[in-house]
Structure 1
Amino acid sequence: FYIIDAITLAEAIGLGARINMIMQTAFFLLSGILTKAEAIKAIKDAIKKTYGKKGDKVVNMNYAAVDTAVNNIVEVKIPKTAGGHAKPPVVPADAPAFVKEVTAKMIEGKGDQVKVSQMPCDGTWPTGTTQYEKRNIAVHVPEWLPKNCIQCGRCSLVCPHAAIRMKIVKDGDLKKQPKSMKSVDSVGAQFKGSKTIIQVFTEDCCGCTLCVDACPAKEKALKMIENNEAVRTQEIPNVKYFLSLPEVANKEIDPSTVKGSQLMRPMFEFSGACAGCGETPYIKLATQMFGDRMLIANATGCSSIYGGNLPTTPYCKRADGRGPAWANSLFEDNAEFGLGMRNTANKFAAQAAELLEKAVAEKLITKKMAGEITNAPQKTQDEIEAQRGRVAKLKEALTGNKSVIAKRLLPVADYLVKKSVWIFGGDGWAYDIGYGGLDHVLASGENVNVLIMDTEVYSNTGGQMSKSTPRAATAQFAAGGKKMPKKDIGMIFSTYGNVYVAKIALGANPSQVVKAFAEAEAYDGPSLIIAYAHCINHGINMAKGFDQQRKAVNCGHWPLYRYNPELEEQGKNPLTIDSKAPSIPFAEYALNENRYRALKMMNPEHADELMALSQKDVEKSWKFLEGRANALEPAKK
């Protein structure tokens, strides 16, 4: 057989991890389908046709990939006697029985061997199974440099795959730590005598480098190193020990801050999303802040594919078994599906409250116990955990009781603890196919939280135009550049007056992002978060995704704001603008992306015309936003 070190060759050329042309060349040269000359000519012709609109530099790099592949194919001769290397197990030995019997078979490509008797009879699939994959796909992984670290948590916040995490532990808890595990004295009065650890999960990292980019330290606290056997051998026991360490107590952290949120366990990890994905950090953050009580309705799209994938599932749970409950219905009815979840949770909660009163009447429980449960505040994580304790005592008091009331109350008692209902989807769903349903749900006044991960195209199906696609951008069905401006869905829904609306961008203002999630969930009514998500369909280097987010905000294409109806009730302006007036031209942002640059190369005159209109769109949008904020300013008494 033959081998080729495609990654090393691609990196030397400047293609990064893009090895497709190297592998294609190797295939045709070895298969003999075409002669060497015919194959090289055909591949280079295809390169010109496919990448020509991206410029001569990209074309020439791909030409170089073909040429270098020709001279770097190495034959490996199979010896007459095979070696004695044992095949490593597909999943770890400590994996649950279901993972060993079903998941491992599917990972191995032997799903047809799974017995019907081994399948879940109700279709419910166990969560938290991505932790057993250990794909080891990153060529380079980050290494933490404790002496440079300011302990802000941003590296953990931006990681699309939850492959870098933060913990603060008491010094005494580290007595058995591996010698190679790094830690540093924690900053902050409340953490005096503690150690901070930033742990990289090398086997699960995708090597996107976003964590390095996000590090705000003067001297970066992270650097990329080769993910070799020595690194993995060192970090595997470190990861295992890190996971065994206790979590920080809720009372010691503020989850509405960047650092506080990153001291909470992510319940969305190691998904199959693209390296450097712009969507998954938002999902991960939501699970860190509210995952123990989340009910998620997920629209079909990228987020349903990497979120509800098989054979492994990225949603996971805490040590006590609590975590997000997730389901996907259809592309077009996701908002309604989520509203159904909300109404069901409300109905069960009302039923439980009614049965609680009857339990008091039958003297199954005391009036004091019922009153404490009914009147308990559930705004903070500590308050929710306290309510869980009360409900646990209630269930203990009812267990074994043969009363009809007790038997009816036990199955719904957990609904006395607040549930957080979330509706996830992309712009193709929210702006287009599911827009009518979304409008219906937000107009209902019910307490649901909607997260739109806005990539400005239908990402999962290959980059088709949506109503979120900006003017001047090229996409499928808009090859000549989109002629109409982007739909301003945030301002549209803010006109209802009772919908919380936030427009956020993680790369531009992480603190505003965390604050928006906290406010949206706390608001007792419909909430809408519109999150900028960079995407491979934009035609960018994904390692620079957050740079583009910053430019999108700075040019005014993506103004940051929060519209909070509760502030109006307090006599304050409900609209808070969290970004400054545009400081760079729209083109300075747009022309970093192939979706805009392609039109400039194909039809410069038309591109300039649309770009000029886009600049006017930005100016008009900012003027409207400022005017709206001024109009909503309460009259001075």
Structure 2
Amino acid sequence: MTEYEPRYNPLDEEHVEQVAGTKPRGLEKEIHESALPPTGVLELDLEQYVGDFNERIIGAYAAGTGEQSLPADVGVARSLIPPGTGALRDFSYIAPEIPRFDRDKCVGCMSCVTECPDTAILGKAIPKSHLEAELSAISDSQERDGIRAQWAVTRKYYEVFEKKGEEGALFGIFVDPTKCKGCAECVEVCDALGYHALAMIKKDEQTIPRYRSYFNFFRQVGPTPRAYINERALADMMLSDEALLYVGGAGSCMGCGEATAIRMMLAATGFVYGAEHVGIVAATGCNTVYGSTYPYNPFLVPWTNSLFENAPAVAMGVRAKWDQRGWQQKKVWVIGGDGAMYDIGFQALSRMLASGMDINVLILDTQVYSNTGGQASTATYTGQDAKMAIVGKATPGKRERRKELALIAMMHPDTFVAQTTAAHINHFYRAIMAANEYPGPAVVTVYTTCQPEHGVADDRSSYQAKLAVDSRAFPLFVYDPRKGERIKERLSLAGNPAVGDDWYRLPHTGEVVDFVAFARTEGRFAKQFDAEGRTSDTLRDAQADRLQYWRRLQELAGVR
């Protein structure tokens, strides 16, 4: 896991005032009352601390002097980072390229906004009259024309409303240059849908100032009116400020698959329940590193970081205390990866599921311990090249078969389980919303591409996740105990291609999309192919394992 540290670039005063001067909707008070035990001698006025933090501490770290010039204070002693300080982090000079928006090709699908792991590309739908009034206030004609070019006339937000006799809204896509790492996943997602409304361009001396000016307008123009947010089009949730609870500024790798899943979970939960009704218990892993590298915090909700092995146990304590206070409506989410849920923390997870408590779990399944340099775990696929399972003359990579945690979770009493990916936007959002609604333990395990450990390009998180589903490497399913008494009534494989077949075939060529086809696209399986592309016995064993797992799911769902 790479922790990005951009070279010093002072933030402009206007940007600092916008972020530092905005209080995160009363969350300081909630954290102060619900998350902090009595301090004794460590008395802390949290609201005052937050203001001082943004001005003094963030400024010192941005200047590169924080470690030398700042004394240890009460907040550091309490391991406290105020909400949303990641908004002040600047990644402008990490990548040489940045996305450019072509309004004439945009349909307003919101896929680019949804899939961005860094909250670096955002959208709004603003009524035409209001937008024109705001644009007319810009005195510089060149700047005004540049900003106007960011707003598209789409059928979804403009023509449909015009036909109903209502005012149409123009749809705008804006890139925050201080958050964009140049991974180009937004471009890949848009191209995959056939729209080609985004393209990467080289940065020059004018690019960053121009993009900052455009993004400042985006912040100032106001929120998307609720009438233009179609709740049936689930991707529209990120048009709402209530859904943007992950501000970016995290030090995750370019294109990180985990960050997208976390953003989407928070969006679906915040949109329905509000920021004040969400709390996170995070297990040790990449998410706790890039999500709380002092002094930067991307979250606008209360959170606490725990150890590999006990995050579900900590969540049980939080749930019990919240219920004692009458806060049953608040949603507790446990976030963890392979080690926290599959391996060392499995016993705590199992106990939590058996407790029947209303706690949700988001499993970030990278099939490897990314945080410790790519060690193999029980989530690792057979034949995968990883630390502790390196491919060599004596060892053909990972020998053991992969543990299917979602299947194990189904066997716990009355537990909601979903297996999904962030690339399948509607399936993911429906899984999160159903988990929140379910009055008991819920597990949502998500395929999360890890670029450096999987050996794939920075823009491939969504593509590889889709391919993992198509190849039966990671099938989609939802297991809802409310659907009936029998497993086949509770288990749905909807969302997978060719549900009744062993393998999916491409419609135009008839080519089989099996596990071997998936493995050919990732560096972690490269050593399982010889110079002519022939597969090893180990990889054929891995393919047989994936097919057996898929047939087991078919049997349980009553498909075969």
What's the TM-score bracket when you normalise by the shorter of the two chains? 0.7 to 0.9
**Aligned twin of 2:53:** 98
- The secondary structure found in structure 1 opposite 2:269 is helix
- Equivalent runs, 1:103-182 vs 2, <5 Å: 103-111=58-66, 112-116=68-72, 119=75, 122-136=78-92, 137-174=94-131, 175-177=133-135, 179=144, 180-181=146-147, 182=150
Partner Cα separation in structure 2 for residue 259 and residue 470 of structure 1: 31
Partner Cα separation in structure 1 for residue 72 and residue 540 of structure 2: 61
**Aligned twin of 2:5:** none
Q: CA deviation at 1:510?
A: 1.9
Q: CA deviation at 1:120?
A: 6.0
Identify if the C-alpha distance between structure 1 residues 90 and 330 changes in structure 2 by more than 3 Å, giving closer, same or farther. Answer: farther
- Equivalent runs, 1:182-201 vs 2, <5 Å: 182-186=150-154, 187-188=156-157, 189=160, 192-201=167-176
- Equivalent runs, 1:479-494 vs 2, <5 Å: 479=390, 480=395, 481-494=397-410
Give the alignment's Cα RMSD to 1 decimal.
2.6
Which residue of 538, 541, 552 maps to 1:613? 541
Q: CA deviation at 1:168?
A: 1.3
Identify if the C-alpha distance between structure 1 residues 93 and 264 changes in structure 2 by more than 3 Å, giving closer, same or farther. Answer: closer
- The secondary structure found in structure 1 opposite 2:434 is helix
Given that 2:81 and 2:296 are in contact with CA atoms closer than 8 Å, whether structure 1 keeps it comes out as no
Which residue of 381, 406, 416 maps to 1:470? 381
Given that 1:472 and 1:483 are in contact with CA atoms closer than 8 Å, whether structure 2 keeps it comes out as yes
Q: CA deviation at 1:626?
A: 0.6
Relative contact order higher in (CA < 8 Å, ≥ 6 apart): 2
The alignment status of 1:246 with 2:214, answered yes or no, reads no
- The secondary structure found in structure 2 opposite 1:573 is helix
Given that 1:295 and 1:341 are in contact with CA atoms closer than 8 Å, whether structure 2 keeps it comes out as no
Partner Cα separation in structure 2 for residue 150 and residue 193 of structure 1: 14
Which residue of 298, 301, 304 maps to 1:327? 304
The code of the aligned residue for 2:552 comes to F
- Equivalent runs, 1:437-516 vs 2, <5 Å: 437-479=348-390, 480=395, 481-507=397-423, 509-516=424-431
Identify if the C-alpha distance between structure 1 residues 229 and 287 changes in structure 2 by more than 3 Å, giving closer, same or farther. Answer: farther
Q: CA deviation at 1:119?
A: 4.5
**Aligned twin of 2:496:** 579
**Aligned twin of 1:274:** 253
Q: CA deviation at 1:570?
A: 11
Given that 1:271 and 1:306 are in contact with CA atoms closer than 8 Å, whether structure 2 keeps it comes out as yes
Partner Cα separation in structure 2 for residue 431 and residue 118 of structure 1: 36
Structure 1 residues not aligned, in runs of 5+: 1-85, 317-323, 350-414
Deviation readout 1:210-238 (Å, 9 max, x if unpaired): 11111155340111111222122222122
Q: CA deviation at 1:483?
A: 1.1
Given that 1:424 and 1:451 are in contact with CA atoms closer than 8 Å, whether structure 2 keeps it comes out as yes
Instruction: Identify the structure with the greater helix proportion.
Output: 1
Given that 2:134 and 2:221 are in contact with CA atoms closer than 8 Å, whether structure 1 keeps it comes out as no
The code of the aligned residue for 1:469 comes to T
Identify if the C-alpha distance between structure 1 residues 255 and 345 changes in structure 2 by more than 3 Å, giving closer, same or farther. Answer: farther
- The secondary structure found in structure 2 opposite 1:463 is coil
Partner Cα separation in structure 1 for residue 536 and residue 384 of structure 2: 12
- The secondary structure found in structure 2 opposite 1:439 is helix
Identify if the C-alpha distance between structure 1 residues 429 and 255 changes in structure 2 by more than 3 Å, giving closer, same or farther. Answer: farther
Deviation readout 1:375-424 (Å, 9 max, x if unpaired): xxxxxxxxxxxxxxxxxxxxxxxxxxxxxxxxxxxxxxxx37x2111000
Identify if the C-alpha distance between structure 1 residues 625 and 89 changes in structure 2 by more than 3 Å, giving closer, same or farther. Answer: closer
Deviation readout 1:325-368 (Å, 9 max, x if unpaired): 0101211111111121111111110xxxxxxxxxxxxxxxxxxx
Partner Cα separation in structure 2 for residue 499 and residue 199 of structure 1: 40
Please report the TM-score for the alignment, with normalisation by the length of structure 1: 0.70
The alignment status of 1:308 with 2:301, answered yes or no, reads no
- The secondary structure found in structure 2 opposite 1:126 is coil
Deviation readout 1:158-179 (Å, 9 max, x if unpaired): 1010100111122233222351
- Equivalent runs, 1:521-532 vs 2, <5 Å: 521-532=436-447
Q: CA deviation at 1:487?
A: 0.5
Deviation readout 1:453-481 (Å, 9 max, x if unpaired): 10000001100000000111111111131
Q: CA deviation at 1:523?
A: 1.1
Q: Which has the larger radius of gyration?
A: 1
Partner Cα separation in structure 1 for residue 261 and residue 174 of structure 2: 20
Partner Cα separation in structure 2 for residue 141 and residue 176 of structure 1: 26
- Equivalent runs, 1:236-635 vs 2, <5 Å: 236-250=212-226, 253-255=229-231, 257-265=233-241, 266-268=244-246, 269-291=248-270, 292=275, 293-316=277-300, 324-349=301-326, 415=327, 418-479=329-390, 480=395, 481-507=397-423, 509-535=424-450, 536-568=452-484, 573-577=489-493, 578-580=495-497, 581=501, 582-583=503-504, 584-600=513-529, 608-630=536-558
- The secondary structure found in structure 2 opposite 1:460 is helix
Identify if the C-alpha distance between structure 1 residues 442 and 254 changes in structure 2 by more than 3 Å, giving closer, same or farther. Answer: farther
Q: CA deviation at 1:618?
A: 1.6
Deviation readout 1:60-113 (Å, 9 max, x if unpaired): xxxxxxxxxxxxxxxxxxxxxxxxxx9946875524542221122133332231
Identify if the C-alpha distance between structure 1 residues 257 and 443 changes in structure 2 by more than 3 Å, giving closer, same or farther. Answer: farther
Q: CA deviation at 1:622?
A: 1.2
- The secondary structure found in structure 2 opposite 1:220 is coil
* Matched positions, count: 472
Structure 2 residues not aligned, in runs of 5+: 1-7, 21-50, 139-143, 505-512
- The secondary structure found in structure 1 opposite 2:429 is helix
Name whichever of 453-462 and 521-530 sits farther off.
521-530
